[in-house]
């Protein structure tokens, strides 16, 4: 059986008629942690949105395969049900829908199975403890009145509960203090196993210190200009993106 989870082949994507991605290639296998780094406006968030086929982004050329199946034009919810998850940079607020009801509903949709309530409750409680989320939040409206850090932790909670095969974390670390970054890293470690994969999208390197990263890709101006090991992130930390911008 193939180990391959995601394959992006020569992907071109426009947003509002602007060319953003200009021929992206990327392969992610089970058990791997990948990082896409790049300066603002390089196309990082577009890559994440394109994988989940956000209708606001238009694919011009290229394919996306997930476990060998072409998902390029599937609807977002179908892609989610195949096992792709995205942690949002700016999670949406849903008034009147509690965190617990939302997750119950989403988990049912993702798994297609009825939710065993007690088991679900315990699982949720356990994850919330690990992520240091106030237990009262469970009955609060999803993301409404949450601070930036609380929203991000809630995204990680959703990732743990929905247990995807591929988790894409779009700038999950941005705007977080040191403690929150540590908690998010811990969540990723809890999630990670040899059968799933993580794609971390970031423009800084703090979150990478505590995670065992397999590949780092440098995205500049809609193209992956370099791929390397975790060492590459350290190099960026020291020298920035300037040299790649020029190339």
**Binding site residues, another protein, CB under 8 A:** 52, 54-56, 75-77, 80-81, 85-86, 88, 91-92, 94-97, 102, 105-106, 109-110, 141, 158, 162
Tell me whether residue 109 or residue 125 sits nearer to another protein (CB atom).
109
Tell me whether residue 56 or residue 178 sits nearer to another protein (CB atom).
56
Tell me whether residue 114 or residue 242 sits nearer to another protein (CB atom).
114
Measured between alpha carbons, how far is 230 from 93 in angstroms, rounded to an integer? 35
Nearest distance from residue 218's CB to another protein, in Å? 26
Residue tagged 């394959």 (tokens): 7
Nearest distance from residue 49's CB to another protein, in Å? 8
* Terminal CA-CA length for the chain: 39
Tell me whether residue 24 or residue 80 sits nearer to another protein (CB atom).
80
Task: Give the number of other CB atoms < 10 A from CB of residue 60.
Answer: 12
Residue tagged 């315990």 (tokens): 122
Tell me whether residue 156 or residue 224 sits nearer to another protein (CB atom).
156
Nearest distance from residue 94's CB to another protein, in Å? 5
Tell me whether residue 104 or residue 209 sits nearer to another protein (CB atom).
104
Residues 6+ apart with CB under 8 A from 176: 148, 149, 152, 184
Nearest distance from residue 81's CB to another protein, in Å? 5
CA dihedral (173, 175, 177, 179) positive or negative: negative
Among 54, 75, 84, which residue's Cα sits nearest to residue 159? 84
Nearest distance from residue 109's CB to another protein, in Å? 4
For 120, the token pair is 């679900």
Residues 6+ apart with CB under 8 A from 26: 6, 7, 8, 34, 47, 217, 224
Nearest distance from residue 52's CB to another protein, in Å? 5
């Amino acid at each position: 059986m193939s180990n391959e989870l995601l394959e992006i082949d020569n992907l071109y994507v426009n947003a509002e008629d602007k060319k953003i991605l200009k021929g992206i290639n990327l392969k992610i296998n089970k058990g791997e942690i990948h990082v896409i780094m790049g300066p603002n406006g390089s196309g990082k968030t577009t890559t994440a949105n394109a994988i989940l086929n956000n209708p606001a982004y238009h694919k011009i050329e290229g394919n996306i395969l997930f476990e060998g199946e072409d998902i390029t034009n599937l609807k977002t919810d179908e892609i989610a049900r195949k096992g792709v998850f995205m942690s949002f940079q700016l999670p949406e607020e849903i008034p009147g829908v509690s965190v617990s009801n939302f997750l119950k509903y989403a988990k049912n949709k993702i798994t297609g199975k009825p939710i065993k309530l007690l088991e679900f409750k315990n699982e949720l409680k356990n994850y919330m403890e690990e992520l240091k989320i106030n237990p009262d939040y469970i009955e609060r409206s999803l993301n409404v009145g949450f601070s930036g850090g609380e929203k991000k932790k809630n995204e990680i909670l959703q990732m743990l509960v929905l247990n995807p095969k591929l988790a894409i974390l779009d700038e999950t670390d941005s705007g977080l203090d040191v403690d929150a970054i540590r908690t998010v890293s811990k969540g990723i470690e809890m999630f990670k196993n040899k059968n799933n994969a993580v794609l971390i999208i970031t423009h800084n390197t703090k979150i990478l210190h505590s995670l065992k990263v397999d590949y780092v890709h440098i995205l500049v101006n809609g193209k992956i200009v370099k791929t390397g090991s975790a060492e590459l992130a350290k190099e960026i930390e020291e020298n920035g993106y300037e040299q790649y911008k020029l190339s």
